[in-house]
Amino acid sequence: MKLSTQSHTHAGPSLLALAIVHTLFFAANLIAGALLRHGAIFVNPYGPAESARQFFAGNPEALRVAAFFFFSSSIPLGIYTATVVSRLRFLGVRAAGSDIATYGGYAASAAIAFSGLSTWILSVTEVAASLPVTRMLHFFSFLCGGTAFAVGFGLLAAGVSVTSLFLRLLPRWLVWFGLFIALAGELSTLGLVLYQATMTIPIVRFGGFVWLIAVGALLPNSIAKNSAPNSPGGEAGS
């Protein structure tokens, strides 16, 4: 009997669209914040505490708008995570990599949300008037939006890349690019004891945009009805 080759298509949001929306929200956070600060440079938490407090006290509108866009960028990332993991399982993945990707993606999304909300709180006049509170929230926002995000995103990239490698769901160059981002993300934990290690965070942040968009564009969303469970495209590393 001849088997049908009709395809089943995964039902879910567009990964490409979610990746683009996430990227645009982050870009809006940078652009709007810079414009509303009128040239003032965003302060580093490792710099003088009083300079940081004065910056937050003097730029409440910029902080609120930037926080809005940054927080908003966490939403499409969370939906992207749920969708990409659902699609991997639809394509036959049964390995732990999909669960690792779930944990990492949700952790990265939550880290962005906490960072954005902390930045918004810093725009409150009474908060910005207190040096200890400003100092604490500044570091908390920095660590959530930096190290915590990078570690979580690294796990997302690792989980998707490894499972895709075994099933040949993505081009090899994209798999290795994802693993490079994953390595940079995990190395960012060293930033808690060595400040220079935080330099890996921009690799995860900006390289991650490219990786998300490429995965969204190239990850298959359909399988053939005659794909056998034990075929190379049927199931991953049970």
Query: For the segment 84-130, what is each residue's pLDDT rounded down to a tens digit?
Result: 999 999 988 888 889 999 999 999 999 999 999 999 999 999 999 99
The rounded distance, in Å, linking the Cα atoms of 192 and 168 is 36
Task: Convert the pLDDT of each residue in 26-43 to its tens digit.
Answer: 999 999 888 887 666 778
Residue with tokens 């909300």: 117
**Residue 97 burial class via C-beta count within 10 angstroms: exposed 0-12, middle 13-18, buried 19 and up:** buried
Element (H, E) at 177: helix 172-187
Instruction: Please count the residues of the chain.
Output: 238
**Greatest distance between any 2 Cα atoms in the chain:** 78
Instruction: Specify the amino acid at residue 218.
Output: L
Task: Convert the pLDDT of each residue in 137-188 to its tens digit.
Answer: 999 999 999 999 999 999 999 999 999 998 899 999 999 999 999 999 999 9
pLDDT at 7 over 80: no
Question: What's the pLDDT score for residue 97?
Answer: 87
According to DSSP, the residues that pair with 224 across neighbouring strands are 7
The rounded distance, in Å, linking the Cα atoms of 77 and 80 is 5
Q: Which residues contact 100 (CB under 8 A, 6 or more apart)?
A: 155, 158, 159
CB–CB of 87/8 below 8 Å?
Answer: no
pTM: 0.86
